[in-house]
Chain A
Amino acid sequence: MTSQPTRAARAMLTVAIVCGVAAVALSVYADAALHGGRTVVGSWLPFTAACLAIAASALFMLIGDSFPSAPPFILAGAVACLLAGSYLGLFVAPPEHFMGEVQRIMYVHVPTAWSALLALTFAFGCAIVSLFTGAWKWDAKLEGGVEVGVLLGFLLCCQGAIWAKPTWGVWWDWDPRLTTTAVLVCAFLGILALRHFVDDPVKRATWSAVATIIAYVDVPIVYYSVRWWNSLHQMQSSPETVSPQFYLPLRLNAFGVLFLMTGFIVLRSRIAAARIATELAPPPPELLGELA
């Protein structure tokens, strides 16, 4: 279910590409500036780079239907960022003082966490628009956002368990951050199950949109759980608290996972849109004849 790209869609695609490239370029520049001794991190630069990457991702997800050939390019960019970021994280960045080599898991764990919450935020936005407009394309995008969010949430829990074993001594602990994350994954998994079992597209769209809005309440709880309660999990880092050597691999992997998430959501939404179009299509004349 793709439409011919309009002039506005082409303009948005151009802006998205410029934003994505600028985000990566700004991060590389910030890293070079850091190693040159300038205190550029902690200023507007990392924040701007992150905003540009998120803007690029949001634009791609909004106009993805109009450009069938766009996802392979987004995915190729994602893989390039991930390969570069993982190489730097595994072989170039030094080990952390206390956690040693295990800290290198941060370069995939933290980007996965950010992207999981962003995917579910996208689904939340689609749920609201779907309820207000009733347009099917938002229902399809919601399905894409929820499924990719659940995938990233599941992966996040696995990576966290692998990190927890050598640092905490256990694979899992019912700590506030871990528990709220598990609840989040289960809640959105339930929404996918709901969508699978409800055959009526109208009821499915409405119920899953409402359920998504309710389940999304857990997202800020997950984010703030380490501040609100006494948690084993460390608090969020900021550009001021991340060592300069860790900056570029983390950023490149963050953009890589973000662009991967974007490509996956665009592709998954397309599958959902095709299925919805089939469900809404009138039955073939032969079947109508049999029924009559």
Chain B
Amino acid sequence: MTGGYVTGGWSFVWAAYGWTALVFATYGLSLFLRIRKSR
């Protein structure tokens, strides 16, 4: 951060989007597997 302005930070942006996509995909897969098991 310089003078109250945040500079750079793309790595944090990719981390947030990547983690969000991973969590959603993993949970969606777990639902799919649990539904198959419950049939």
Contacts and interface: CB of A to CB of B under 8 A. Distances in A.
Chains A and B are bound partners: yes
Interface of A: 75, 86, 90, 97-102, 104-105, 108-109, 112, 151, 154-155, 158-159, 162-163, 165-167, 169, 260, 264, 267-268, 270-271, 274-275
A166 B1 contact: yes
Contacts of B16: 105, 108-109, 158-159, 162-163
Contacts of A155: 19-20, 23
Interface string B7-30: 111101101110110011001100
Main secondary structure of the interface of B (DSSP, over half): helix
Contacts of B12: 102, 105, 162-163, 165-166
Nearest to B27: A151
Contacts of B7: 100
10 tightest A-B contacts by CB? A102-B9, A274-B38, A105-B16, A162-B16, A100-B6, A267-B31, A166-B9, A101-B9, A104-B13, A99-B6
B15 A162 contact: yes
Interface of B: 1, 4-10, 12-13, 15-17, 19-20, 23-24, 27-28, 31, 34-35, 38-39
A67 to B, nearest CB: 15
13 contacts: A97-B5, A98-B4, A98-B6, A100-B7, A101-B13, A102-B9, A108-B17, A151-B23, A158-B16, A162-B12, A163-B16, A166-B8, A271-B35
B8 A101 contact: yes
B10 A108 contact: no
